């Protein structure tokens, strides 16, 4: 049996790092007109942080005004004179740009009508993309025969490998590589990001828009949940461990102490995640009794009892004839050929689809607020592509090709979990 280090080697840094992919960056006032975030990860220093800069009604109102009528430097500087940042900080973070002495918005600011327009544009496009995957279903089914787990379905395999690895992750890489979608707009302090803001009140439900992966990558394996942003927080891994920091939120005036406490506790949480990884990989191929799990993993019996109790509650494991088995997808190095084969087909489908549809989508997007303000379409397309592939994923769930994250037998709705060996996929 392999030692712990060959499965997982978890560090404090790996546990604490969290890429906010198309997520709001911080708690935001419900009274503010905009929801603000980045695609990518953002610097923590306030004057370099998009959400911090836009975290007031006055500044958000100013941005909305500039979107309709560009302003000069003197007026702009006067408007932000009492803020902790300056106009040049807004330029540096990609929020505005200066042209001929006037400042224009320079990012994906989407008014209510923009969001509804993008949803309308993406709805049919996403369904057509899903149809192209369904046309190749027999090929995917044949490749799936290379993976067998007693209690994990092919629907879950397709949801993860095609929905997450292919349509989401590889789709983002492909669209950037082929010039359809711009790379990160800014890189500051080693953090690359594209800012966005959405006016609240749009009739756009996030339920079933499967576009969000949460990941913690260790030396040998990655814990992932993939789903929508309608239901949360996710009772899965790594999400549960990310919420540990909430235990220290009451220490508002002691940021350094709070950070130190979180780092200390995370070290122990990582030990637990290490053990969980060993248990899940041990249960990947066959069901095991408790004494067999201990022999296979070396996990302390008292710890194992608590781990199994948590994993059973999270529906990661179940009991079958007095033995424990994995109920979730666990992908090992031997699944590389299968994942690569599916991803290759998925990439070709996406390439063909873009060649047929990209220019029509560009034409249909000409009245969006950022386009009217001179923001390049390839930057705006990051938002559109997320809707397109999310709707494709939703359609593939509706067609019964993918597992349903809202199925009645799922205690924890809105996502599907997976643990996968590093090297079989690439998270952008």
Residue 10, pLDDT > 70, answer: no
For residue 264, name the pLDDT band (cuts at 50, 70, 90): confident
For residue 329, pLDDT beyond 70: yes
Strands 191-199 and 212-217: unpaired
147 pLDDT tier (thresholds 50, 70, 90)? very high
Average pLDDT, integer, range 318-342? 97
Look at residues 175, 215, 236, 159 and name the one whose alpha carbon lies nearest to residue 390. Answer: 159
More confident residue, 7 or 407: 407
The residue among 345, 380, 327 whose CA lies nearest residue 134 is 345
Report d(CA 334, CA 303) in Å as an integer. Answer: 29
Cβ-based neighbour number of residue 320 at 10 Å: 12
pLDDT confidence tier of residue 241, bands split at 50, 70 and 90? confident
pLDDT of residue 42: 87
Q: Is the pLDDT of residue 11 over 80?
A: no
What are the pLDDT digits (tens) for 172-191?
999 999 999 999 999 999 99
Residue indicated by tokens 């499965």:
7
Residue 14 has pLDDT above 70, yes or no: no
Q: Which of 216, 203, 213, 273 is nearest to 414 (CA)?
A: 213
Q: What is the average pLDDT across 78-92?
A: 98
DSSP assignment of 356-372: HHHHHHHHHTTTSHHHH
User: Has this prediction a pTM greater than 0.85?
Assistant: yes
């Amino acid at each position: 049996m392999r030692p712990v280090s060959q499965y997982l080697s978890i560090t404090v840094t790996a546990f604490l790092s969290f890429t906010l992919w198309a997520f709001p960056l911080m708690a935001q006032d419900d009274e503010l007109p905009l929801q603000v975030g980045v695609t990518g990860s953002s610097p923590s220093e306030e004057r370099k942080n998009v959400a911090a800069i836009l975290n007031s009604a006055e500044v958000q109102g100013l941005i909305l005004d500039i979107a309709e009528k560009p302003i000069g430097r003197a007026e702009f500087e006067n408007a932000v004179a009492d803020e902790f940042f300056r106009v040049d900080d807004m330029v540096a973070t990609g929020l505005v740009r200066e042209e001929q002495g006037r400042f224009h918005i320079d990012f994906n600011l989407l008014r209510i009508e923009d969001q509804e327009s993008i949803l309308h544009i993406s709805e049919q496009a996403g369904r057509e993309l899903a149809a192209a995957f369904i046309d190749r279903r027999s090929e995917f089914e044949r490749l799936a025969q290379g993976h067998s787990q007693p209690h994990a379905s092919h629907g879950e395999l397709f949801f993860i490998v095609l929905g997450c690895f292919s349509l989401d992750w590889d789709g983002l890489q492909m669209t950037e590589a082929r010039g359809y979608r711009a790379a990160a707009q800014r890189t500051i302090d080693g953090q690359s990001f594209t800012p966005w803001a959405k006016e609240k009140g749009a009739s756009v439900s996030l339920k079933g828009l499967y576009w969000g992966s949460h990941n913690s990558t260790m030396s040998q394996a990655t814990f992932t949940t993939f789903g929508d942003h309608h239901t949360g927080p996710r009772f899965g891994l790594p999400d549960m461990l990310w919420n540990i920091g909430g235990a220290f939120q009451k220490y508002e005036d002691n940021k350094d102490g709070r950070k130190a406490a979180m780092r200390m506790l995370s070290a122990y949480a990582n030990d637990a995640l290490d053990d969980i990884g060993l248990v899940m990989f041990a249960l990947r191929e066959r069901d095991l009794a408790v004494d067999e799990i201990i022999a296979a993993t070396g996990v302390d019996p008292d710890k194992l009892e608590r781990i199994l109790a948590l994993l059973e509650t999270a529906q990661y494991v179940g009991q079958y004839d007095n033995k424990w088995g994995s109920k979730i997808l666990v992908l090992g190095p031997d699944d590389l050929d299968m994942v690569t084969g599916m991803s290759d087909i998925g990439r070709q489908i996406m390439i063909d689809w873009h060649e047929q549809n990209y220019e029509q989508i560009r034409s249909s997007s000409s009245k969006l607020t950022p386009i009217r303000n001179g923001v390049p379409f390839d930057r705006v397309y990051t938002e559109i592509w997320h809707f397109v592939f999310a709707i494709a994923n939703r359609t593939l769930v509706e067609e019964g090709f993918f597992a349903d994250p809202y199925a009645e037998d799922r205690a924890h709705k809105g996502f599907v979990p997976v643990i996968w060996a590093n090297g079989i996929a690439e998270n952008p």
